Structure 1
Amino acid sequence: NCAALASHWWSATANGWNSQAAQPGLAATGGFALALLFGKAMIGPLFAQTAWTNVTFVGSEVRDPGRNLSRALLYGCAVVVVLYVLANVAYIASLRLPEIQNAPQNRIAVAMMRAIFGRPGVLAMAAAIMISTFGCNNGLILAGARVYYAMARDNLFFRKVGTTNRFDVPAFALVVQAAWTTLLTLPRTVIINNQTGAYTFGNVYTQLLEYIVSADLIFYVLLVAAVLILRKKNPAAERPYRTWGYPVVPFVSIALAAVLIVDLACLAPSTSGIGILIVLTGVPAYFLWRTHSPTSL
């Protein structure tokens, strides 16, 4: 870190970037500031990986899940990591750091395509984003509904959500998910430019992204911790896949996720902090539901 900070890469005069430019009012300096901001910069990459667990939602419908689920998780995550590393190499090779930092609406890929191909590149990227979005939505919608379906089957949600139609599809769970998703898109944001006084209207997509990453990190901690606990409680349970480096790897995973949770809560309390609070509201909701479960609904 010290070498990086002393180099031209960190020099504000060389590329217009420093810790204050990235996080105005940040009290930390030097290598510690770099570490904090690196954690915040992980929001995008972590968001890209948030669906890595979705394949497990349909585990009961997978043939030989002990073999196929672990392979799907490993290969899927590896492909995403390679693609994102290559994409970032392309960004750095094509754009200067200030152009990356100040890309309009944080659309760095669009800025890169515009710099290389001009207007046709922007249109090509828009088409690629649409294809990616539709594919992503397909997986998220179909897999996400299985969570509410499983909760209802375990008497942790309304019984109707745990039913399937004649095609064995959790149709009502899909309807509930669609209604909730629609509500999340309704809130609007208003940003006022302090210099010009101009108003910019938008939605809460960026804020939702930060909510999601913080919440996901909490569940990753719980997920990995559950492995440690269940292996202790059920030592004789079948284990078709064994974690390499156990138990060091799970503890490292928990520690890194916990550090990122604290980092995001400190640097983005208005979004990540609220996301964490939303997750914590589920604790009393869980116990209230268990003690006063409306099983007739």
Structure 2
Amino acid sequence: MKFKNQTAASELILLGMTHDSELQPLIFCLFLSMYLITILGNLLIILTVRADSNLHTPMFFFLSNLSLNDICLSSTTIPKLLVSIQTQDQKITYTGCLSQVSFVLIFGGMENCLLAVMAYDRYVAICQPLRYQVILSSDFCVLLLVLSLLISTVHALLHTVMALRLSFCTNVEIPHFFCELAQLINLACSDTFINTLMVYSAANIFFGVPIAGIIFSYSKIVSSVFRMHSVGGRYKAFSTCGSYLSVVFLFYVTGFGVHLSPTVVDSSTKNAVASVMYIVIPQMINPFIYSLRNREMKIALRHLISGKPFLFLCS
């Protein structure tokens, strides 16, 4: 079976967040601020982890890669929006749109896999602390990262190749600030049954398995925390888990809502807002949730900013 681009439109139009021209400067400033916070926050985490050998552990290895992925995911969507507002040119080529779809799926898939891997990391650290270094060896950590990237890439390419079989009418207007797979399928002139079936099937498998892993890991973690004798230890563990699960909830619920809910897909306003909640906000607050609540990371950040050498006292 051959797949080829059957669209009659060489260019598509991204309508952005709103049609109100008076709100465009506000939206530009808002997204520029969020993008800069995302880049600077995640870049600071990456530099801190690389600079301090005390942070060369599995947890911070996955955290630094999550930060890198967050930078890539945000850079796939926000700069195009900012340029469109500044130049007042909302056009995007068909090739550029498909490329954006593919990269969003790759980095969104990586986010999905890394959240599951980080949950497994915390499960081993809390439930099997004596075997932590043995189970999560450096080679195994790299293997988990490579597998996550491979699975995410295959998943993205599968959807992108299937999108090539779709036909689009001329003057296609996408009621969104970036090219999203669900919106692209919704606007196609040709039959989209296979594409829609793939979205539902892939979502159940590709996102369902990591979610099941996260639920399993944290159910075991909660069970272990309840067996702790220290009240302070329980509070610290629940505080960390609560922050992590709040970001996981935000990422998955809004993501599923965008791709699987007919109500959200059919409403451009709901779709755009929901997409911001999983494609922009989690990437911006991840450094604060995962890192700035961590004592070792706080100390390392202070030394990195002040330019002092990294000296930690063994407790």
Establish whether TM, by shorter chain, passes 0.5.
no
Q: RCO (CA 8 Å, sep 6+): is it higher in 1 or 2?
A: 2
Larger Rg: 1
TM-score in terms of structure 1 length? 0.41
TM-score in terms of structure 2 length? 0.39
